[in-house]
Amino acid sequence: MPDYQSFLLLALVMVLGLILYRRISSTGADPQPGDCAGGSVFIHPSSSQAGMILEAALQKDRGTGISSAVVVDGKLIYADAIGQADRKSKLGANALMRTGSIAKLFTAVAAARLVEMNLLDLHSPIAAIVPEFAHGGITPFQLGTHFSGIRQYNFQKLSEANNRKLFRSQADAIELFASDPLLSNPGEAFHYSSFGYNLLGLVVERVYGSPFAKALHDLVTEPLGVFSLKLDDTAAEIPCRPVFYTMAFGRLRIQAPLRNNSDLYPSGGQLVTAGDLAVFGDTVFNGENLQPDTIRLFTNPGTTPAGDPGGYSFGWQLGRAEDGRIEWYGHGGQINGAYASVRYYPASKLTIAGMSNYNLWLTSSPPEFFHAVRRDLPAIFSKT
């Protein structure tokens, strides 16, 4: 049964957000710096059509802004943003957008890089790395493929759905679930788990010997060229991070409730430009930055003891055709005031990233954003 007290409290937060939004609208939010508006790329004949698709999605959602980028066979052929970054400023292609659960891909790559450096064994229990965790028999591979048995966030519980507490370390953050019973024995069944990825982030941190932000920079940002990637610290001043909005009832535009992301940096609390996200997706599968065994790790699904494949590899969701063939590797994301999607289509070596600075709440209509970046953009860019 839903937690109605939490629901009512969330509704109150939204109303307060509406009041705050109106106050900001009367005084004016600080505009983004000028260089945040740059970064657009139009070197493909379908670029203008892509812009119209995104405009139509934005209008249907009554949203604020969308940033998108397309890479084909290692080349960035399209990058643009439409809509607003805040009340005064246009959203630019250099805007730092929220990843939501796409953050898991960066954490998975960080762990895989440690394997390449012979610092981490994906199939050894984590007990020696995180001795304070009750279920030490879980392996990093099980964390990365969602076969650990660790539960997901309880989104009916406001303290988990919209955390306000500052966790000063990744070790502190795992206290949210460290003593909870497992949903199944490790390796036995698939259970999507952001908590599992927060634990994987702690494993990365301890094996590398640096805070997670430093490990992410050294293992992912620098070697893969994802230079815009950073943690979404909501208490910090971060240039080019737009304002994020929630469209309540499909009509009321309010600033998204403030969330402290310190509990989920490895699983959902990161920022990146859409262009860098698209380049990252291409680089993982087509570049020379990762070893062949690592690429196989990202393309082969996790399986049950009976050999039944799950819907994810190590980090990446697998999209299959009716005949079982893998059509795409990717991930989606949703967090306060944001949607995100990235998909790599191996048949055409096409990667498409889309990110918004709005989300919908209390509406029966699914966001048109996902239809635009997952259905319409692939249709026009895969033709050539």
Tokens of 63: 């949203």
Residues 109, 284 contacting (CB under 8 angstroms):
yes
pLDDT for residue 12:
53
Q: What's the domain count of the chain?
A: 1
Over residues 316-345, the mean pLDDT reads 96
Which sign does the torsion angle of CA 97, 376, 59, 332 carry?
negative
Q: Is residue 8 scored above 90 in pLDDT?
A: no
Domain span including residue 324: 4-381
Q: Is residue 279 scored above 80 in pLDDT?
A: yes
CATH code where residue 141 lies: 3.40.710.10
Mean pLDDT of the chain: 91
Q: Where are the alpha helices (DSSP H) in 28-183?
A: 47-61, 103-116, 140-144, 158-161, 170-173
Which sign does the torsion angle of CA 360, 365, 369, 370 carry?
positive
**Which residue type occupies 253?**
R
Question: Can you tell me the distance from the alpha carbon of 244 to that of 21, in angstroms, rounded to the nearest whole number?
Answer: 11
pLDDT for residue 383:
73
Under DSSP, is residue 274 helix (H, G, I), strand (E, B) or coil?
helix
pLDDT for residue 192:
97
Cα distances (Å, whole numbers) of residue 68 to 85, 275, 279, 334: 14, 7, 12, 16
Which are the contacts of 356, defined by CB distance < 8 A and separation ≥ 6?
Answer: 63, 64, 65, 66, 67, 97, 338, 339, 340, 367, 369
Pairing of strands 358-361, 245-248: parallel
Nearest residue to 205 (alpha-carbon basis) of 106, 112, 108, 111: 111
What are the tens digits of pLDDT across the range 113-155? 999 999 999 999 999 999 999 999 999 999 999 999 999 999 9
What are the tens digits of pLDDT across the range 170-219? 999 999 999 999 999 999 999 999 999 999 999 999 999 999 999 999 99
Using 50, 70 and 90 to split pLDDT, how confident is the model at 28? very low
Residues 320, 327 contacting (CB under 8 angstroms):
yes
DSSP state of 313: S
Over residues 89-95, the mean pLDDT reads 97
Q: Is residue 3 scored above 90 in pLDDT?
A: no
Q: Is residue 161 scored above 90 in pLDDT?
A: yes
pLDDT for residue 364:
86
Q: Is residue 319 scored above 50 in pLDDT?
A: yes
**Which residue type occupies 102?**
I
- Rounded to two decimals, the pTM is 0.92
Which sign does the torsion angle of CA 327, 377, 75, 100 carry?
negative
Question: In this structure, how many other beta carbons lie within 10 angstroms of the beta carbon of residue 34?
Answer: 9
Tokens of 354: 């889309």
pLDDT for residue 365:
87
Question: Can you tell me the distance from the alpha carbon of 175 to that of 374, in angstroms, rounded to the nearest whole number?
Answer: 36
Tokens of 139: 């392996």
Over residues 82-101, the mean pLDDT reads 97
Question: Can you tell me the distance from the alpha carbon of 4 to that of 192, in angstroms, rounded to the nearest whole number?
Answer: 25
Question: Can you tell me the distance from the alpha carbon of 379 to that of 384, in angstroms, rounded to the nearest whole number?
Answer: 10
Question: Can you tell me the distance from the alpha carbon of 303 to that of 172, in angstroms, rounded to the nearest whole number?
Answer: 31
pLDDT for residue 35:
79
Cα distances (Å, whole numbers) of residue 118 to 7, 111, 113, 114, 207: 47, 11, 9, 6, 11
Over residues 292-299, the mean pLDDT reads 97
Which are the contacts of 311, defined by CB distance < 8 A and separation ≥ 6?
Answer: 190, 301, 317, 318
pLDDT for residue 310:
85
Cα distances (Å, whole numbers) of residue 353 to 81, 135, 183, 196, 293: 12, 36, 33, 25, 25
pLDDT for residue 34:
57
Over residues 352-367, the mean pLDDT reads 95
